[in-house]
Amino acid sequence: MALTPPTAPTTAPPVPAAAAPPAPVTPAPAGPATRALPAPAAPAPATPATPAQLVDAEDLRARVDAAVGAHLAVLASEVAAISAVADGAATALTDQAAVLLTGGKRLRAALCWWSFRAHGGAPSGPAADAAVRTGAALELFQAAALLHDDVMDNSDTRRGAPTAHRAFAARHAAAGWSGDAGRFGESGAILLGDLVLVAAQRELTAALEPVPAVAGAVRDTFDRMQSEVVTGQYLDVLVQAEPWGEDPAADEARARAVLRAKSAGYSVAAPLELGALLAGAGAGRAALVHAAGVPLGEAFQLRDDVLGVFGDPSVTGKPAGDDLREGKRTVLVARTMSELALSSDDAARTRLTACLGDPALSGDDVSRVRDVIEGSGALAAVEHLVDELYETALARLAAADLAEPARGMLHAIAAVLVDRES
């Protein structure tokens, strides 16, 4: 599926031939909570050529990275001081946090920023700084969610590197410490997730200090987003444990409800709503972009589900078929079961059921399951659903009365969210 974002106004300057690679999140000394962030160097590009340029426009990536890096620097100093009695051993937590927070797409921060700009927010000033730092808080929150999610999913890699619980387990094993290395690793990752979640709250609190008029509404939205994610995560765990496969249509409806709560809100809908509120657009206009973000966020997660089975490991950073080994009961798998039931292909259904949740699934096994999914028509059906959700999101964005060139940037990001390989 190839999606082409709408063309932005031709009055904007052209895109550079190549964007500079994102700078790593390097801890640096931080000033007071109300410190000024770097101002953008240039206006938004007319037609961004790559996903990276969508985030690099108006120096957003650099500004968000600076905010995240400054927060990590303060946190690392705090953790070192608290654990001084143990020679600062707990800085292993913030070292691992820096690994996870370096790089990343920064698409949540971009959605927040371009919604802010599309609702009349200026590119610099106190409100702009608040929008950038709210984007940093979103990135911190995502990191916390990923840390916990990787433990629950027993994942080995994240963005091509060992997950935090595997890294902590390896540290335990290399040092020859007593006790179970795996258990130590899981405990360390859970605690790190908690620490980064606290960091997200602190960053948001600092972000909102210069904008008291909208602080309450922004905080309420951020808090609701967090509740949705935790509830969605629990529902995801519950679905994995409950009986499954007898009613594929009900299973698919449940899977969609889980992904809307677990991912769609905090990935897309909430960032869009937060940006509108930070611009002073009010609850009504913020609700319009939130409504656009729900189907777009669902399409984003459905793309993740497809990549979890059919993605290229060199691009996704995760082993091929990892979702199958983890036994994830996704919309893609539920639709496959439904299509196989309709065709009475009991052999294929048995093969799929046997492979789901098998951690020893080989590459050949994964290929055979892919064939079953594609042959059932489920892959094409999910791709069609992604298209429908994307079109719904675009229609709702069109009704939101957004200003250019930020409106074009949001449309371009929407296309990237659903037409991607990682």
pLDDT tens profile 81-132: 999 999 999 999 999 999 999 878 899 999 999 999 999 999 999 999 999 9
The CATH number given to whatever domain includes residue 77 is 1.10.600.10
Q: Which letter does DSSP use for residue 83 in this model?
A: T
Comparison of pLDDT for 349 and 185, the residue scoring more: 185
- Please state the rounded mean pLDDT for residues 139-154: 95
Instruction: Say how many CA atoms lie within 13 Å of 213 toward its Cβ.
Output: 9
Mean residue pLDDT across the chain: 88
Q: Is residue 295 part of a domain?
A: yes
Q: Is residue 220 part of a domain?
A: yes
Total structural domains in the chain? 1
Q: Which helix (H) or strand (E) holds 107?
A: helix 107-118
Taking only the tens place, the pLDDT of each residue in 19-67 is 333 334 444 333 334 444 544 544 444 545 577 889 999 999 999 999 9
Q: Is residue 4 part of a domain?
A: no
Q: Cα separation of 183 and 172, whole Å?
A: 10
pLDDT above 90: residue 288: yes
Q: What pLDDT is attached to residue 269? A: 98
Q: Is residue 3 part of a domain?
A: no
Whole-model pTM: value is 0.86
Q: Is residue 248 part of a domain?
A: yes
Tokens found for residue 51: 């996903």
Task: Give the percent of the chain with pLDDT over 70.
Answer: 88
pLDDT above 80: residue 257: yes
Q: Is residue 40 part of a domain?
A: no
Q: What pLDDT is attached to residue 31? A: 37
pLDDT above 70: residue 229: yes
The amino acid sitting at 221 is T
DSSP string, 68-82: HHHHHHHHHHHHHHH
In whole angstroms, how large is the CA radius of gyration of the chain? 22
Least confident range from 51-60, 217-226, 318-327: namely 318-327
- Please state the rounded mean pLDDT for residues 273-302: 97
Q: What pLDDT is attached to residue 45? A: 45
Q: Which helix (H) or strand (E) holds 162?
A: strand 161-162
| Range among 14-18, 30-34, 67-71 rated most confident | 67-71
Q: Is residue 17 part of a domain?
A: no
- Please state the rounded mean pLDDT for residues 236-261: 90
Q: Which long-range contacts (CB under 8 A, 24 or more apart) does 72-80 make?
A: 72/25, 72/27, 72/97, 72/98, 72/101, 72/199, 73/27, 73/28, 73/29, 73/30, 74/30, 75/195, 75/199, 76/27, 79/195
Tokens found for residue 2: 């190839």
- Please state the rounded mean pLDDT for residues 241-252: 86
Q: What pLDDT is attached to residue 245? A: 78
- Please state the rounded mean pLDDT for residues 318-338: 89
Q: What pLDDT is attached to residue 49? A: 54
pLDDT above 50: residue 290: yes
pLDDT above 70: residue 148: yes
Taking only the tens place, the pLDDT of each residue in 172-196 is 999 999 999 999 999 999 999 999 9
Taking only the tens place, the pLDDT of each residue in 390-400 is 999 999 999 99
Tokens found for residue 169: 């387990």
Q: Which long-range contacts (CB under 8 A, 24 or more apart) does 311-319 make?
A: 311/421, 311/422, 312/421, 315/421, 315/422, 316/421, 316/422, 317/157, 317/158, 317/159, 317/160, 317/161, 317/422, 318/155, 318/157, 318/158, 319/156, 319/157
Length of the chain: 422
Least confident range from 15-19, 279-283, 313-317, 356-360: namely 15-19
Domain region containing 126: 51-418
* Confidence grade of residue 317 (pLDDT, cut at 50, 70, 90): confident
Q: Is residue 138 part of a domain?
A: yes
